[in-house]
Amino acid sequence: MGRSFSISALAVALVFQAGCTRDALPRGETEIRWTSYGIPHIRAHDERGLGYGVGYAYARDNLCLLSEEVLTARGERSRYMGREGQSSARLDNLSSDLFFTWLNDEQAVDAFWRAQPEPARQLLAGYVAGFNRYLRDNGAPEACRGAAWVRPLQESDMVRLIHRLMVEGGIGRFAEPLLAATPPAAEASQARIDTRRIQGSVYERGSNAIAVGAERSENGRGLLLGNPHFPWSGALRFYQMHLTIPGQLDVMGAALPGLPVINIGFNRTLAWTHTVDTSGHFTLRRLTLDPKDPQRYLVDGRSYPLRSHEVQVQVREADGQLVTHRQVIHESRYGPLIKWSGVADWDRQHAYAFQDANLANTRALEQWYAMNHAGSVAELRDVVQRIQGIPWVNTLAADQQGQTAYMNVSVVPNLSLKQLHGCVDPALQARGLPGLDGSRSECDWQNAEGAVQPGIVPGGQLPVLLRRDFVQNANDSAWMSNPAQPLTGFSPLVSREGSALGLRARFALAQLAAQDPQPITAPFLKGLVSGERVHAADLLLDDLLQWCAALKPGSEFERACVAMQQWDRTASTQAGLGWLYFQGFAKSFIQAGQGWRQPFDPRDPLHTPSGIDWHSPAVANAVAERLRKAMAQVDALKLPADVTWGQLQAVERPGSEQPGQRIPIPGGDGHLGVYNAIQSVPQADGRLKVVSGSSYIQLVGFDDQGPVAQGLLAFSQSSDPASRHAADQTELFSRQAWQPLPFTEQQIDADPHLEVLRLKE
């Protein structure tokens, strides 16, 4: 195919003929060059122009998505869609509106905006102007055309989106408990808390990352695999782009909706990625209520009033009328009160407050923009520790000189070991929640010299590991980023040591060890993802098949045992019934935490736990029961004997003339050690809907000239089903056909599908 060029009717645009030399970009203009698969390469002279291009390009691909997420962040879903239905976070419209109206009130939005440095403000202002320009010139796509909630953006909308992102690792997961918090006298009924939504947000956000240094790479330079596992829709859906301000900035990668900066990516001399961390970013405070007045609470014997804040949202009823819904949010000096029946009850003696460290984090946009400019691992470490705006993820990086880094530097409450021993609420601790006594000020978060905000651990005191062989993370703590140099001695709120590693980390570390002394290459790292290996099978299947072999002929388990024997131990699209039987069994076995032949040994975390102690009669009986249940689950689907994983786990092909055409999706449950982690949920027809997992994938090395990058965006650039870029990269992901990422001028200009547009505001 030849190159195509598009010009909006009202755009001031200059179009270049294929093969001609590009002119210098005039002042005040923004250039967007789209290459294959709809990746925009945006060039401008300043931040406003850069943001303008990002907003315009993003609107072309995801106008409906961003408009709806802005509607959510504004707390206006019920006004336009009624109280029924759900947001992309699976929260009902009314609850979502109440929560975000509270979170993003006028005071919070104004304070966040005022805290932004001027470059960040210009990026956001430009983004808004560019998005609005596209909407004005082209209108909304068919998917949301005519919807009253599709409106021009304001700078405050961008602030609301970023503020929402900050609390995704904290109070954002506890919207329902916050809204359920009513005084005991006001109880009408017990509010039902959907714990699946709270826990599901954890399962939907993971990541793998490996940074290889000079001592293990093939050419003595850095090499980075970034494989974030994020939602395939909604407010956390990544978008690829390339941002350039000549002489100042040249960075490529992916960003979350509404962000005019690169979150995960690379520039000429540095590549970095993120993995969701295990650090605590909030604590619960058990308040002791004043016996004289249950609307007050005691701290050091002194009585303080609970503050009441009424939230109002507009709700469109079935008859089209708008009514006002009011709800009171109760707050303490620590934060809002929550109520979770049986976990954090509000009775006449106690109540529970939620203290989220990221509610005061206004630095994320500044942080990522500074990272975009960093030229080396050393510079990256400096800006990450100094600004400390990363909310709830680790950072891993490799540079052109062969240095690598793992940084568990985010926003974490500062509590001493003495406080953690003397202030912890045992009941909450037993449930895995960080709970503290709220009646003693000695249990308050500590202010420390060098901290960028009160009550958090300073960036220079958080785990950082610099290596020239490798560092890795797969959502475990900092402890085993590199087994040759364990990171120990940190607060358990920051990093836990001596705990069993996840199976993805064990898989990666085993493969890296097996590769030694051979160099770690780009094809090797790609194979960790594209090989679709199920590491749980490496640990369990041999023993399970031995248990099968000991059964009498004609056993009820024979067909499952035969299928597992024939299975190739992968979650590829061609995997058959053996994979289905095994994953049902393995999930149950691993969750139970019992029956291992070699239990976990903190002295050998890379190899334990492993095996099945099937010679034990009790364990053998448990194996039978677990496999019986797994078989029943598979049998209930009434699948043909030759069914493949790709027939079950697939996504609809947008715009297909033949309804029901689907794209097979490889990968599986990351908790079973599938590096290409994919989370899918059963549908009524027995098929599986992909909701999260591998998203933006980048594999970046360096040569003397700069980065050599490949990758893809698993769910493609556009959420508009009518777009030609709604599934083109999904087809690639189905085959694990990673593509070169065009970064240099020569690579961009040589793209066979190049499309160029110049805009003037």
What residues are labeled active site? 207
Beta bridge partners of 242: 41, 252
Spell out the SS3 assignment of 198-214: HHHHHHCCEEEEEEECC
SS3 433: coil
Count of positions (residues) in the chain? 761
Q: Return d(Cα 278, Cα 495) in angstroms, integer.
A: 7
- Angstrom CA distances, 339 to 182, 192, 284, 289, 432, stand at 8, 10, 11, 15, 16
Of 413, 436, 431, the closest CA to residue 340 belongs to: 431
Longest dimension (CA), the chain: 82
β-pairing verdict for 322-331 and 739-740: unpaired
Q: Return d(Cα 526, Cα 413) in angstroms, integer.
A: 37
The answer to whether 486 touches 497, Cβ cutoff 8 Å, is yes
Q: Return d(Cα 444, Cα 454) in angstroms, integer.
A: 11
Q: Return d(Cα 246, Cα 268) in angstroms, integer.
A: 13
Peptide bond into 517 cis (omega under 30): yes
The answer to whether 92 touches 85, Cβ cutoff 8 Å, is yes
The answer to whether 363 touches 389, Cβ cutoff 8 Å, is yes
Q: Return d(Cα 453, Cα 471) in angstroms, integer.
A: 29
Question: How distant is the alpha carbon of residue 72 from its chain centre?
Answer: 18
Q: Return d(Cα 610, Cα 595) in angstroms, integer.
A: 10
The answer to whether 406 touches 396, Cβ cutoff 8 Å, is yes
Residues whose CB is less than 8 angstroms from the CB of residue 680 and which lie 6 or more positions away in sequence, other chains included: 649, 665, 688, 689, 690, 691, 693
Of 28, 36, 11, the closest CA to residue 755 belongs to: 36
Residue 56, φ and ψ in degrees, nearest 5: -65, -50
Joined together, the tokens standing for residue 578 give 């053996």
Q: Return d(Cα 393, Cα 679) in angstroms, integer.
A: 20
Question: How distant is the alpha carbon of residue 423 from its chain centre?
Answer: 31
Q: Return d(Cα 35, Cα 697) in angstroms, integer.
A: 17
Q: Return d(Cα 58, Cα 40) in angstroms, integer.
A: 9
- Angstrom CA distances, 461 to 389, 404, 636, stand at 15, 19, 53
Residue 666, amino acid? P
Q: Return d(Cα 403, Cα 469) in angstroms, integer.
A: 8
